[in-house]
Copies of this chain bind each other. A is one copy, B any other.
Amino acid sequence: MLSVELRQQRAGFALDISFEAPAGVTVLFGGSGAGKTTVVNAVAGLERPETGRVALNGRVLFDLERGIWLAPHRRRIGYIFQEGRLFPHLTVRQNLLFGRWFAPKGAAREDLERIVAMLGIGPLMARHPGSLSGGEKQRVAIGRALLSSPDLILADEPLAALDDPRKEEILPYFERLRDEVKIPMLYVSHAATEVARLATTVVVLKDGKVQRQGSAAEVLGDASVMPTGVRAAGALLQARLLRHHTDGLSELEAGGISLFLPQVMQQVGSQLRVRILAQDVILSRQKPEGLSALNILPGEIEQIRGGTGPGAMVTLKTDAGRVLARITRRSAQALELAPGVSCYAVVKSVAIARSDVSGEARSDTPG
């Protein structure tokens, strides 16, 4: 467990936060200038705040009121920087093993082979960072942080400098990190996809304050705190993988309702989290027939919120969990939607991107 308490005054910016990060991945979420990097750097010991206290599993990293300030190299924290910061004069192997030279003798050692296999960087071992692509660099940076046997992993927007295909290439490695390696992680991001896929807990920062803290499902379902706006809002459903069909679809079960998704690379029986974007959901009053969409969830409308724009956000209570639907106000009127009205949510299988499904718990064989 990580407990953080910080205060810091800068021209035009005041940081004053306090939060506790339980085991798993805590995503620090917030817009530019919210203070995310400041928090992470203080935890790592790279910047000294005015006052505050950070403790990790009971070990005090600093407590400025008591005059305690541990040097960064004594904190045993693996930091994954946005720009990688690989050592250009060392090979990938040497970069990976760098932290090991300095790890205390008794520290539990991550197995190099295992990490290398997990990150798929075996073929790069003899190369220098200068010749790696952005995505490859970040994978090596992840490995390097892991192999220093840290008690906590920090990651400051590790994907921000990458383009979409490369992001998609790295995200699964962070999932594996969460599920296989089980080192607590503080992960800075301002992308909802990353929150949805990785977060156990989300801490939303705004202007140096904690605006909200909660589980990923809670925070993502709340369009008001999503800094990237309404397009990123969506529901997180907990589902269990029932079976893989021969036509390439996977069948999941959530609260007794079947969901069909393009093949999910997980073992039958695993618990999954499925993110369904509000804008991908169609609502229907009658049970739809003859539609190509395979997922139809009956439910009852809980809430309708309209904004200034043409859209309305409908919360539908289904047996699978709450589903958000973003529809036009015109449709809401035409269908006479109101709280208490029962209706159907229609979701295409193919609308659920692979990046919106992720394993919830550790599966024994990585996909």
A172 contacts B by Cβ under 8 Å: no
Among the interface residues A161, A292, A350, which one has the most CB atoms of the partner chain B within 10 A?
A292
Contact partner, A309, options B263, B288, B351, Cβ 8 Å: B263
A112 contacts B by Cβ under 8 Å: no
A330 contacts B by Cβ under 8 Å: yes
Query: Distance (Å) between the CB of A211 and the closest chain B CB?
Result: 18
A349 contacts B by Cβ under 8 Å: yes
When chains A and B are docked, how far (Å) is the Cα of A331 from the Cα of B350? 11
When chains A and B are docked, how far (Å) is the Cα of A294 from the Cα of B333? 12
Q: Are B286 and A292 in contact (CB under 8 A)?
A: no
Instruction: Return chain B residues, CB-CB under 8 Å to A247.
Output: 310, 328-330
Report how many copies the assembly holds.
2
Q: If A231-B353, A248-B309, A280-B351 touch, does A330 touch B133 (CB 8 Å cutoff)? A: no
Instruction: Return chain B residues, CB-CB under 8 Å to A349.
Output: 310, 328, 331
Contact partner, A350, options B190, B288, B326, Cβ 8 Å: B326
A291 contacts B by Cβ under 8 Å: yes
When chains A and B are docked, how far (Å) is the Cα of A290 from the Cα of B289? 11
A-B pairs with lowest CB-CB distance, top 10: A248-B310, A292-B331, A283-B292, A292-B327, A285-B290, A279-B350, A249-B310, A284-B291, A282-B293, A286-B290
Q: What are 17 residue pairs bridging A and B, where the CB atoms are less than 8 Å apart in the complex? A: A163-B191, A165-B190, A231-B353, A247-B310, A247-B329, A262-B309, A262-B310, A262-B328, A279-B348, A282-B282, A282-B348, A283-B291, A292-B325, A293-B331, A326-B350, A327-B348, A327-B350
